[in-house]
Amino acid sequence: MPTVFDRISNIIRANINDMLDSAEDPEAMLNQIIRDMNDALRQADSDIADQIAQQKMIEGDLDAAKRNQQAWQSKAELAVSKERDDLAREALLRVNDYTEQASIYEKQLEGQKSAVAELKSKRELLKSKYDQALRNRDNLVARARAAQAKGKITQVTNKANTADYASELDRMERKIRHMEARADADEEVAETKTSVEDEFAKLGTDKQVEDQLAALKAKMGK
């Protein structure tokens, strides 16, 4: 289970720009990073409060040990003043016990203060990164979108460069010319067919007129 120190250190060490470059959806990645930072900040605040509470408990134990040390020191002095060496010896044993306890608590307190200070320092650094990410979010998203658009344009351009459009255009032109030539041929065939039919119709009309003329002449004795 990673500690809050590990989570904060990982986020602080992360290069946001590199993460965005490798992300399929930079905007979603950036929003996730900001959410992770915010979660880490809340966790850091909670852990700092716990560590400060622990520090206060150690301080309380240290103060109690010192008070007991002083109290038994006073009792030892009283026993000596009353010429009760037996009680003085017992009191001094207690003094030594509480002195040792105080020494242990002092070392614990020193380590606890260092831990709290380190956690606060990392928390402040993370807060700085978080504020920076919030300020730059729109700019970073815009840059990521522009990079994506540029990449797509480059892909289309590369495809256009590799395609043999001149050859395709020539093939299409030949096809259109063939269609035009076929249309002209069909028209010519249709005109020829009509001309032949007209000639035959004309021949039929001429014979009828000649027959009518001959009949008229015979009638008139010509």
For residue range 26-60, what is the model confidence (pLDDT) as tens digits?
677 778 888 888 998 999 999 999 999 999 999 99
User: Is residue 179 pLDDT above 50, yes or no?
Assistant: yes
Give CA–CA dist 120/123, Å, rounded: 5
- 70: nearest Cα among 106, 102, 107: 102
Residue 132 CB partners (closer than 8 Å, separation 6+): none
The pLDDT, as a whole number, for residue 198 is 65
> What 8-state DSSP symbol labels residue 25?
S
Q: What is the reported pLDDT for 219?
A: 76
How confident is the model at residue 51, as a pLDDT? 94
Helix (H, G, I), strand (E, B) or coil at 50: helix
| Average of per-residue pLDDT across 165-177 | 75
At 1 the pLDDT is 42
How much is the average pLDDT of 65-71? Answer: 96
Q: How sure is the predictor about 143, in pLDDT bands with cuts at 50, 70 and 90?
A: confident
Largest Cα separation within the chain, whole Å, is: 196
**Whole-angstrom distance, CA of residue 184 vs CA of residue 45:** 88
Kindly tell me if the per-residue pLDDT of 82 is higher than 60: yes
Percent of residues, the chain, with pLDDT higher than 70: 70
Q: Which of 41-45, 127-131, 184-188 has the lowest mean pLDDT?
A: 184-188
158 vs 208: which has the higher pLDDT: 208
What is the pLDDT confidence band of residue 176, given thresholds at 50, 70 and 90?
A: confident
188: pLDDT confidence band, cut at 50, 70 and 90?
Answer: confident
Q: What is the pLDDT of residue 24?
A: 62
pLDDT value of residue 34: 86
DSSP 120-146: HHHHHHHHHHHHHHHHHHHHHHHHHHH
pTM for this entry: 0.54
- The per-residue b/e assignment along 82-121, b for 16 or more CB within 10 angstroms, e otherwise, is eeeeeebeebbebbeebeebbeebeebbeebeebbeebee
